[in-house]
Copies of this chain bind each other. A is one copy, B any other.
């Protein structure tokens, strides 16, 4: 199981980025998202996507994130531009077979996180985004197979060359 813990979320300012982090977590094969602020807006956006597009991705509020990381029984991976290269460490992380807690910060992350984490992992060493860092980490972890994951939702896209095609699975047929 893979959980994603989002640190440093500030309501209003980080709402849209945190929602994108959560949607990436879900779309790229993680099982749930934990956020450190009880931000209704984020919860509702994510639940709405799960309701329409399927899967059993969960989102939960965690008050004591330090305690959460410290007592995590599996592997904790902190994604940071200062860490060791993802491509040189992903096999070891995957092969350990533990439950994984992926920690992604907002702009400022308390220094403690670097010490608490089992792995500090970078996706390149240039500034970009926690959204892209998480996507690439999960993509490497699942070796690209996550893009074909079936979610069994009410809505399903039929990939198309030049239009929007959506199958509504619960739609009543009109005879």
- Which residues of chain A have a CB within 8 Å of any CB of chain B? 13-14, 16-17, 20, 23-24, 26-28, 49, 53, 80-87, 111, 114-115, 117, 120, 122-129, 131-132, 134-136, 139, 144, 146-149, 151, 156-157, 159-166
- Which B residues touch A156, using CB under 8 A? 125
Please pick, from B82, B87, B135, B159, the residue contacting A122 in the complex, using a CB distance under 8 A. Answer: B159
Name the prevailing secondary structure of the A interface residues: mixed
- Which B residues touch A16, using CB under 8 A? 13-14, 16-17
15 contacts between A and B (CB under 8 A): A20-B131, A23-B127, A27-B126, A82-B157, A82-B159, A85-B147, A85-B159, A115-B162, A117-B162, A120-B161, A122-B159, A126-B149, A131-B132, A132-B132, A139-B139
- How far, in Å, is A7 (CB) from chain B's closest CB? 16
Please pick, from B49, B86, B159, B162, the residue contacting A127 in the complex, using a CB distance under 8 A. Answer: B49
- Which B residues touch A125, using CB under 8 A? 156-157, 159
A159–B129 touching, CB < 8 Å: no
What is the total number of copies of this protein in its complex?
2
Whole-angstrom CA separation of A40 from B72 in the bound complex: 43
Whole-angstrom CA separation of A102 from B100 in the bound complex: 33
- Which B residues touch A159, using CB under 8 A? 82-85, 122, 125
Whole-angstrom CA separation of A28 from B132 in the bound complex: 10
Closest 4 CB pairs of A and B: A132-B135, A20-B129, A131-B131, A125-B157
- How far, in Å, is A2 (CB) from chain B's closest CB? 15
A20–B23 touching, CB < 8 Å: no
